[in-house]
Structure 1
Amino acid sequence: MAKQNKAYKFRLYPTDEQAFIIRKTFGCVRFVYNKMLAERKATYELLKENKEALKKVKHPTPAKYKSEFEWLKEVDSLSLANAQLNLDKAYKAFFKGNAKFPKFKSKRHKQSYTTNVVNGNIQLLDGHIKLPKLKMVKINQHRAIPSEYTIKSCTLSMTASGKYYISILTEYEKEIESKKIENVVGLDFAMDGLFVDSEGKKANYPKFYRQMLSKLASEQRKLSRKKKGSSNWNKQRIRVAKVQEKVANQRKNFLHHKSKELVTTYDAIIIEDLDMKAMSKTLKFGKSVSDNGWGMFTSFLKYKLHEQGKQLVKIDKWYPSSKTCSSCGQTQSMPMNIRVYACSCGLHLDRDVNAALTIKKEGILLLANA
């Protein structure tokens, strides 16, 4: 039996005292991370020409700082240990050439920390969760975690509007059998509505961000008129954050439902391996790309398909899906203003549907070769 992981996210309702400890832990984790990074950065600058010496350097641990900064002992020690693990991962990614050099964390960075299960220090008990240093915290557990699932770690986070959440990582044993691929669909990314599939159906994404744009702009204008750091400024900052969080929650909910619908219907889903970051930098498309959440959508598809033994296939981002005829395979120039694909073979089809069909055909070839 293979080990699988699944995370469950729930809302937390800490008391004022517990919320203070949580925020204090955020600060301590950020402090330790930055201290360790500063030392590593200094060592790297000193020894970057001598790679062998650099490999032998013993890096500082959170324990080093506890004697000098006594208040670090007041928070969960496992949260500080995880800060070191996160820095180690960031460093390894940098040296492998997969990421940029690690950056210092600021107060504007995501407020979160991770703790691990050790000797029953984390337990779910009747509407509450027992956590290190916090004891029993009220939790809105809107769905049950199967009894055979083992809790491995928990990540506590706080949103900009001051809401607390916990993500519980579980482990379970399950042999996932690969499903026979019968029903296949191709998805062509659509700037305007998330995607168009190879059967001609559109996702019809509601554009939550654009719906809220005028309200968000109004609240942000009010914020800009208030003295930064004042009580009124902070109240208005929370109002702005609540609008942004509502948009994010609406988007996430829509993407969950849409991905579940597709995963239930098809055995394999074919998409293009797009660089969304590069696309969002394009001035004309920035808001459209960030609004529909394609990256989040594909990650939802990936894990939901995996759980059912189904497949997500990504074709090369440079594959000319929009230029290729889905019927005969000929290619032709297709400027963005031309919305119908007309081919000499007689095909006359919406350009997005044609692209989705082309993506599906290329994906089926990849599946056959695999």
Structure 2
Amino acid sequence: MSGTVKRAFKYRFYPTPGQAAELARTFGCVRLVYNLALQARTEAWTLRQERVNYNATSAMLTGWKKTEELAFLNEVSCVPLQQALRHLQVAFTNFWSKRAKYPTFKSRKRSRRSAEYTTSAFRYRDGRLTLAKMTEPLDIVWSRPLPESASPSTVTVSQDTAGRWFVSLLCDDVIPDVPATGAVGVDAGLNSLLCLSTGEKVTNPKHERRDRAALARAQRNLARKEKGSANRAKARLKVARVHARITDRRRDHLHKLST
């Protein structure tokens, strides 16, 4: 029998300068709210042995927005900020259940830059996605179609260390009941990328050999830079970009094989 599952569909997009600035502000506010809530919950447990839950941190967020120092939190959508508090609640739940370590503070340089929007903070119509606080839809590269009549329940926007922008849409997807067919064996070949039991061979483009040599050079250059220096930050960005190029080429090659 067929079934319905939640599935995330991830795409590249290219924001306008205004959208990029808005998202950058949102990422910073999300990180700040997460860290403030984590600090408050840590102090409550350390000083008073008190467990602070999501509702309490949500009330704290309302208070923070009314202060002069944190009034800028009102400039971004409130939904990603609330979602950050929910993610922190999940992290503490996993910690108390001994499924994970104690939550750590988010770093401006190290942590993933992302923001999560629920249905009240975005509009999806006719293949056009518009986020809260924005007047224009995102310029998304629809590399694959969404499920028919898809209605995203959650949208996550992120930016990787190479500066690429991604949007992930969580949708309901129906998995059809496919009858079993004859199996085909797959093995990694010596002179080819893959060898199938049918006798077919998939050639190896060998483009990764050159890219991985460039990645090794970039990593060696990074290792020579002084920690905390501007040159080290530039070298780290170079490593991220080379790694992103390898990932893109591998994905494109696998896409060609599947089609």
Provide the TM-score with structure 2 as the length reference: 0.75
Partner of 2:129: 129
1:101 aligned counterpart, secondary structure: coil
Partner of 1:97: 98
What does residue range 314-333 of structure 1 map to in structure 2 within 5 Å? Answer: none
Change (3 A) 1:101 1:23: same
Deviation at 1:3, TM superposition (A): 3.8
Per-residue CA distance 1:244-270 (angstroms, 9 max, x = gap) = 111233444566778x69xxxxxxxxx
2:157–2:165: 8 Å Cα contact kept in structure 1? Answer: yes
What does residue range 8-23 of structure 1 map to in structure 2 within 5 Å? Answer: 8-23=9-24
Deviation at 1:70, TM superposition (A): 0.6
1:122 aligned counterpart, secondary structure: strand
Distance 2:5 2:102 in 1: 31
Change (3 A) 1:74 1:194: farther
Change (3 A) 1:180 1:219: closer
2:7–2:171: 8 Å Cα contact kept in structure 1? Answer: yes
Change (3 A) 1:144 1:176: closer
Distance 2:163 2:130 in 1: 21
Partner of 1:80: 81
What does residue range 192-211 of structure 1 map to in structure 2 within 5 Å? Answer: 211=210
Percent identical among aligned pairs is: 28
What does residue range 70-219 of structure 1 map to in structure 2 within 5 Å? Answer: 70-107=71-108, 108-118=110-120, 121-124=122-125, 128-136=128-136, 137-172=138-173, 174=174, 176-177=176-177, 211-219=210-218
* Matched AA of 1:133: K
Provide the TM-score with structure 1 as the length reference: 0.55
Deviation at 1:57, TM superposition (A): 9.3
Deviation at 1:229, TM superposition (A): 2.7
1:195–1:203: 8 Å Cα contact kept in structure 2? Answer: yes
Partner of 2:32: 31
Root mean square deviation, CA, Å: 4.0
Larger gyration radius, structure 1 or structure 2? 1
Distance 2:204 2:154 in 1: 34
Deviation at 1:194, TM superposition (A): 11
* Matched AA of 1:216: L
* Matched AA of 1:170: C
Partner of 1:60: 57
Distance 2:53 2:92 in 1: 15
2:54–2:85: 8 Å Cα contact kept in structure 1? Answer: no
Number of positions where the alignment pairs a residue of Structure 1 with one of Structure 2: 248
